Amino acid sequence: MKIKRVLAIITIAFFSVTAFAQNKDAKKLDRIITRDYKIIEGTISKLSEQTIEYSLPNEQLINSMEVIHIARIEFANGRVQTFDAAPEVQNNNNNTAEPAPVSTGSQEIAMKENTIAVLPVPFVDAGNMASSEEMAKFAQNDIFSKLMDKSSNIAPLTVQDLRVTNSILRKAGIDYKNIDETPIEELHKILGVDNIVAAKVSYTTSVNTTSGTYNTGNKKYEENKTKNRSFSGTSSNTNLVYHYKVYFELYKNNTKIYTQSRQPFLNLKDSWIESVSYLLKRSPIYTKK
């Protein structure tokens, strides 16, 4: 009996240690996002003005990296810290500042003048603060299409292809969920453009029910002309009503040059599209021809 009790205690201890180890391994890690858009997950042990020290999961080896190579740190506790870019490279011939090249991970591209990028559009249900990835991409594509259709109205600007924009943002760990938290200066450098369109759609929904009555009046049946009958009743319709508010911002060289918001006149499912068109046509980049 004593042997069985000892074995039972050992078994319980073994599973306790195993569960503890699993919980320890499953803990959330810090995320280091470098300027060439690599993402490193690990545990940060030290951070100074010049360097950062971290260890990779299941390793005790301490790695070191210079802060100048880091764009952002997302700590396990939810705090986000961004870092200024390295000083711009000086031209040795005329001592004028040249645009710092922006890396996309596989190659470096210089800042493209007169180029505009459309950011993913957060599409948020204000009732529960839930966001939709599908609608964020749809709204982004809608703005992009409107700019492309009216390319003559925004000349000399050219629109950066959405695949390029979204690929660069994805490599940088940026999407529709955290696009609002990313400084516009960083987005300019990441995307390599001097103009940016940023929008957001917030909405709530309500249910609208309408009802009415009807009366057919007297109706004589041919088969029995001595009987007259009338029919009456009620009917009701239930519709989902959308209450939108569209926020629209335009940036040029890190400066906000236009900001407006608009609520659609109608409360239909796609009414936000009208507001986007209205605000875009009244932005400084749009000229009538």
- Do residue 166 and residue 257 come from a single domain? yes
Q: Which of 10-14, 60-64, 145-149, 253-257 has the lowest mean pLDDT?
A: 10-14
Residue 92 has what pLDDT?
A: 39
**Is 38's pLDDT higher than 90?**
no
- 3-state secondary structure (DSSP) of residue 120: coil
- Do residue 179 and residue 41 come from a single domain? no
User: Residue 7 falls within a domain, yes or no?
Assistant: no
Residue 31 has what pLDDT?
A: 85
- The string of pLDDT tens digits covering residues 132-188 is 888 999 999 999 999 999 888 888 899 999 999 999 999 999 988 889 888 999 999
Residue 105 has what pLDDT?
A: 43
Q: Which of 7-16, 91-100, 172-181, 220-229 has the lowest mean pLDDT?
A: 91-100
- Number of domains present in the structure of the chain: 2
User: Residue 111 falls within a domain, yes or no?
Assistant: yes
**Is 125's pLDDT higher than 70?**
yes
**Is 219's pLDDT higher than 60?**
no
The arithmetic mean of pLDDT across residues 43-70, rounded, is 88
User: Residue 8 falls within a domain, yes or no?
Assistant: no
Sign, CA torsion 229/230/236/237: positive
Give percent of the chain with pLDDT exceeding 90. Answer: 29
Q: Which of 64-78, 154-168, 189-203 has the lowest mean pLDDT?
A: 64-78
CA-to-CA distance for 89 and 97, rounded, in angstroms?
6
pLDDT category at 99 given cuts 50, 70, 90 is very low
**Is 255's pLDDT higher than 60?**
yes
The arithmetic mean of pLDDT across residues 32-53, rounded, is 83
**Is 61's pLDDT higher than 70?**
yes
- Do residue 44 and residue 162 come from a single domain? no
- The string of pLDDT tens digits covering residues 12-36 is 555 554 544 444 445 788 988 887 6
- Do residue 70 and residue 111 come from a single domain? no
Q: Which domain holds residue 160?
A: 102-205+240-281
Q: Which of 15-24, 55-64, 276-285 has the lowest mean pLDDT?
A: 15-24
- Do residue 53 and residue 149 come from a single domain? no
Residue pair 49/67 in contact (Cβ under 8 Å)? The answer is yes
Q: Which residues contact 218 (CB under 8 A, 6 or more apart)?
A: 228, 229, 230
User: Residue 19 falls within a domain, yes or no?
Assistant: no
The arithmetic mean of pLDDT across residues 68-83, rounded, is 83
User: Residue 275 falls within a domain, yes or no?
Assistant: yes
pLDDT category at 96 given cuts 50, 70, 90 is very low
Which of 49, 83, 117 terminates a domain? The answer is 83
Buried b (16+ CB within 10 A) or exposed e, 79-112: eeebbebeeeeeeeeeeeeebbebbbeeeeeebb
**Is 89's pLDDT higher than 60?**
no
> How many C-alpha atoms does 98 have within 13 Å on its Cβ side?
11
User: Residue 227 falls within a domain, yes or no?
Assistant: no
Domain containing 58 — which CATH number? 2.30.30
CA-to-CA distance for 158 and 160, rounded, in angstroms?
7
